[in-house]
């Protein structure tokens, strides 16, 4: 494909000039480097360029050649993702150029999973049979006057399908690409694709300075937003995010479930963001030997080994381990086999929070030692108030990232979250001194060098006790001893303990995204009895990032990127199915569908 064939049909670079963002969708898997270079060369370029490329899994087998003549190709090669299906978001030029690789099945299936507003489509449809379904997908995503350039084996059929979906096709020579512009004369879609919440708004309040709140503040600040970050503690990362270390890893199940796919996406995106912070000389105190998961039973170890082979996961993502292999790499005897995550490990949550805030400090104003007791919306701005009724801050956008308090402040239907007390145990040096890497299973153990080991944690639902319990230490030692027999056989001294409270939902999925307008939903309950997430009325400018349970490290960074993308009207970083599984309005939606909510 020549540059003329790439740029001319889409009126580029003229159409992206002086715009906030421009989104280019490509199924040829070939346009990104040329678009990136042209964007760099244009002094009047858009603020952010998004390229969404769709390709089969095999496309990841051929990363760009990092030759000296193309520094951009070398940069892309260094960022090339692992060979796993899903959406991979790669960021360049300080996050202003974003490549989202949609990897997996055929083009039609991949398109149906995305949610975005496209300005241009560049398509290779030579392998597509009937293009009608695909053109309907294009119409769901097309922005005003979005352009299409497509090569197809049956051009007349493609033109008919485009016209039926609201596109106007331009005259063209035989065998030349089909070009078209989105200009529907009737309604061709049920929902408008994403738009910025407010094209002029770039101020936000984030409540909660743990992993979620710091990540959201960072992702908004990078986009030029001014953020007021409010927390009741004197410093960030004081609650569950204040644990000495936390483990991070994807999950592998016998089926590639929604939870497994979401955790995989969060894990891979977090790795990329952490690597960027480390390249900026931020110390995250991250381990680098991998993480070992011990199966609950020998049968589970065998079943997961079969699943790893069946899904053809690459070895840099996960490797099955026999008991002997696991013992060898762990440095201590383990009770059963399991699987190794070479890029999993342990990290300091507080160090991650500090690095995110430091990296975007110019645009973030912390308000520590400040507790928000009430929020209100005046029709234009969100306001946060303290216990005396004094206003703390105001902004068009507010993000609730304060775990247990988010449900209360938002007044969510059905009390969807619960508190889980977790007590962890710091061990003196001794039985686990030879442990080389974090090990997880029924519990977890993190080697801390000369400081001993961190093990845990209890899981006490709706238990508000903040005191350290000897019974909790015994429980932690017993559970970890079931994975690492040396701990059960050797007298071990407890150095200290810590109690933190996790926030979970009944389905163990987080609450991430825009909150619903529950009063409007009650008013229209009858009409919404068959609603889908996009049908629900939403609270203007109010978002949530909470209820991460034990997976805050893996989910928080992706949650922040999803919320920032929703606010800015950018392509979502995960499939719409996954976003709906973590939608804060999902419990309200189920109640509406089941007729549990009547019209007010």
Q: How many residues does the chain have?
A: 600
Q: In this structure, how many other beta carbons lie within 10 angstroms of the beta carbon of residue 169?
A: 17
Rounded Cα–Cα distance for residues 482 and 97 (Å): 48
User: Which of 13-17, 126-130, 461-465 is least confident?
Assistant: 126-130
- Across the beta sheet with 118-125, what order do the strands follow? 86-92, 97-104, 48-56, 21-26, 118-125, 142-152, 178-182, 167-169
The pLDDT of residue 6:
83
pLDDT averaged over the chain?
A: 94
Residue 544 contacts residue 437 (beta carbons within 8 Å): no
| 367/5: higher pLDDT | 367
Cis peptide before 457 (omega within 30 of 0): yes
Q: Does pLDDT of 129 surpass 90?
A: no
Rounded Cα–Cα distance for residues 549 and 417 (Å): 10
The pLDDT of residue 105:
79
Give the percent of the chain with pLDDT over 90: 87
Q: Read off φ and ψ for residue 161, nearest 5 degrees.
A: -65, -40
Residue position matching structure tokens 């910025």 = 196
Residue 325 pLDDT grade (very low, low, confident, very high; cuts 50, 70, 90): very high
What would the mean pLDDT of 325-331 be, rounded to a whole number? 97
Instruction: Sketch out the chain's domains with CATH numbers.
Output: 3-182 (3.40.50.150), 203-238+351-416+507-593 (3.50.50.60), 288-344+418-503 (3.30.9.10)
Q: Does pLDDT of 423 surpass 60?
A: yes
Q: Does pLDDT of 528 surpass 60?
A: yes
Render pLDDT for 183-225 as a digit per residue (tens, 0 to 9): 999 999 999 999 999 878 899 999 999 999 999 999 999 999 9
Q: Is the dihedral of CA 128, 130, 134, 135 positive or negative?
A: positive
Q: What is the pTM of this model?
A: 0.96
Closest to 148 in 3D by CA, of 123, 112, 130: 123
Render pLDDT for 45-72 as a digit per residue (tens, 0 to 9): 999 999 999 999 999 998 887 665 689 9
């Amino acid at each position: 494909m020549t540059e003329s064939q790439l740029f001319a049909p889409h009126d580029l670079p003229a159409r992206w000039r002086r715009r906030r963002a421009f989104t280019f969708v490509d199924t040829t898997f070939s346009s990104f480097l040329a678009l990136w270079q042209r964007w760099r060369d244009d002094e009047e370029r858009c603020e952010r360029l998004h390229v969404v490329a769709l390709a089969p899994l095999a496309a990841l087998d051929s990363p760009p050649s990092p030759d000296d003549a193309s520094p951009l190709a070398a940069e892309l090669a260094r960022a090339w993702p692992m060979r796993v299906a899903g959406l991979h978001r790669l960021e360049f030029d300080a996050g202003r150029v974003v490549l989202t690789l949609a990897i997996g099945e055929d083009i039609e299936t991949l398109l149906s999973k995305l949610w975005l507003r496209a300005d241009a489509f560049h398509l290779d449809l030579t392998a597509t049979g009937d293009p009608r379904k695909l053109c309907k997908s294009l119409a769901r995503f097309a922005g005003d006057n979005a352009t299409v350039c497509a090569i197809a084996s049956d051009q007349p059929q493609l033109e008919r399908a485009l016209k039926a979906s609201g596109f106007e096709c331009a005259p063209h020579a035989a065998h030349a690409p089909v070009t078209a512009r989105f200009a529907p004369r009737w309604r061709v879609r049920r929902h408008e694709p994403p738009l910025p919440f407010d094209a002029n708004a770039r101020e936000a309040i984030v409540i909660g300075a743990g992993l979620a709140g710091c990540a959201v503040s960072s992702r908004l600040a990078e986009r030029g937003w001014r953020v007021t970050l409010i927390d009741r503690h004197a410093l960030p990362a004081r609650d569950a995010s204040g644990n000495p270390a936390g483990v991070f890893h994807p999950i592998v199940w016998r089926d590639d479930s929604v939870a497994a796919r979401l955790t995989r996406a969060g894990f891979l995106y977090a790795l990329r963001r952490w690597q960027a912070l480390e390249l900026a000389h931020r110390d995250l105190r991250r381990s680098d030997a991998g993480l070992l998961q011990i199966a609950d039973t020998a049968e589970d170890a065998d079943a997961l080994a079969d699943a790893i082979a069946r899904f053809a996961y690459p070895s840099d993502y996960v490797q099955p381990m026999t008991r002997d292999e696991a013992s060898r790499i762990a440095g201590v005897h383990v009770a059963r086999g399991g699987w190794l995550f070479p890029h999993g490990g342990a990290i300091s949550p507080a160090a991650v929070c500090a690095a995110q805030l430091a990296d975007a400090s110019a645009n973030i104003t912390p308000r520590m030692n400040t507790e928000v007791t009430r929020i209100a919306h005046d029709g234009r701005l969100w306001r946060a108030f303290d216990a005396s009724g004094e206003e703390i801050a105001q902004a068009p956008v507010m993000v609730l990232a304060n775990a247990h308090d988010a449900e209360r402040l938002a007044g969510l239907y059905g009390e969807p979250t619960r508190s889980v007390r977790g007590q962890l145990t710091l061990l003196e040096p001794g039985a686990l001194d030879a442990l080389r890497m974090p090990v997880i299973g029924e519990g977890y153990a993190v080697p801390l060098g000369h400081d001993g080991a961190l093990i845990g944690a209890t899981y006490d639902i709706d238990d508000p006790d903040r005191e350290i319990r000897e019974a909790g230490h015994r429980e932690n030692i017993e559970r970890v001893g079931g994975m690492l027999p040396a701990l059960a056989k050797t007298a071990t001294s407890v150095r200290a303990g810590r109690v933190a409270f996790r926030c979970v939902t009944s389905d163990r999925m987080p609450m991430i995204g825009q909150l619903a307008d529950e009063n409007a939903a009650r008013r229209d309950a009858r009409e919404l009895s068959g609603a889908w997430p996009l049908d629900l009325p939403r609270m203007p400018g109010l978002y949530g990032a909470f209820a991460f349970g034990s997976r805050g490290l893996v989910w928080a960074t992706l949650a922040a990127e999803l919320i920032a993308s929703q606010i800015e009207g950018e392509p979502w970083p995960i499939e719409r199915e996954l976003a709906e599984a973590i939608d804060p309005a999902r419990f309200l939606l189920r109640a509406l569908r089941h007729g549990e909510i009547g019209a007010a």
